[in-house]
Copies of this chain bind each other. A is one copy, B any other.
Amino acid sequence: MRIGIAGLGQIGGSLALALRPAHEVRGYDIAREARDAASAAGLGVVDELDALLPADAVIVATPMSAVLPTLAALAPRARSAVLLDVASVRGPVDAFAREHAGDARLVGMHPMAGRSVPGFAGADPALLVGRPFLLVPTVTSDAAAMALAGEIARAVGGVVTVCSAAEHDRIVALVSGLPLALALALSVAASEGVEDVATFAGPGYRDMTRLAQTAPDLAESLLLANSGNVVAAIARLRTLLDGLERAVAERDALAVRDIVARASAARSGLG
């Protein structure tokens, strides 16, 4: 396949590196440094977004704030190219597809992957292996476009699940937005209460605050572009935390044991 990739950050760069061995891949990034880094890594790079077309597929892997403008620029010229995008909140793309996609076929392809090193420097094809790839059809998606998205996701080692935009955003608020919110709140709360956290923190605290180093634009998008679902997820969490706090305050060992058992069972098998 001829595959264009717009945005050569951690995810776009990882996709490019993973697809390159078996496909004709061209990448583009608005930042000269990212293009140079990708080029130095041996990727085919073009100097303009338009030059990613014609192609069988173009994957938009820009920050959230640039996804809709990039899709808007590509859609009129897409012709047979399927336009994929990795946006981690689907509502805005879903609405865009209804109103502005024209004849272009849009499919969401959101990999549940990432690490703390931003930009092309954080790109690594291994990042995507074994990760859930959430395929989200829009009103413009046909069977061929969905099949192509699945083929690309599997080609990079992803494990494909299909869901609606509404279901995606509800679930991602629970498994991605809420964990981020908790990591942010924990990181600030602990640092307010402990003068030098590093002196006292073990691996558990490190794990529980790693998401506090999510790239700021991604963190904002995960919370604000999905605000209704994130607020609902926080409400759900608060109910559990209030119950646990009550059990701890009353030294109710049975109640604590119950939530520990439920949490452990829910977590088991997740690796």
Contacts and interface: CB of A to CB of B under 8 A. Distances in A.
Interface band, chain A: 35 or more
A186 B270 contact: no
Interface string A188-219: 11111110011111111111111111101001
B241 A234 contact: yes
Given A186-B237, A219-B260, A227-B249, 8 more contacts: A114-B202, A175-B205, A178-B190, A181-B248, A187-B263, A216-B260, A220-B256, A227-B251
Contact of A212 (B112, B197, B223, B266): B266
Interface of A: 111-115, 131-132, 134, 159, 161, 170-172, 174-176, 178-194, 197-214, 216, 219-220, 223-224, 227, 230-231, 233-234, 236-241, 244-245, 248-249, 251, 253, 256-257, 259-264, 266-271
A92 to B, nearest CB: 13
Contacts of A245: 181, 231, 234
23 contacts: A112-B205, A131-B203, A174-B193, A174-B194, A178-B186, A178-B189, A179-B207, A179-B208, A180-B204, A181-B241, A181-B244, A182-B186, A184-B240, A185-B237, A186-B237, A187-B266, A204-B214, A209-B267, A219-B256, A223-B256, A224-B251, A231-B245, A231-B249
Nearest to A234: B245
A134 B202 CA distance: 11
Count chain B CB atoms within 10 A of each CB in A171, A214, A220 and give the residue with the most. Answer: A171
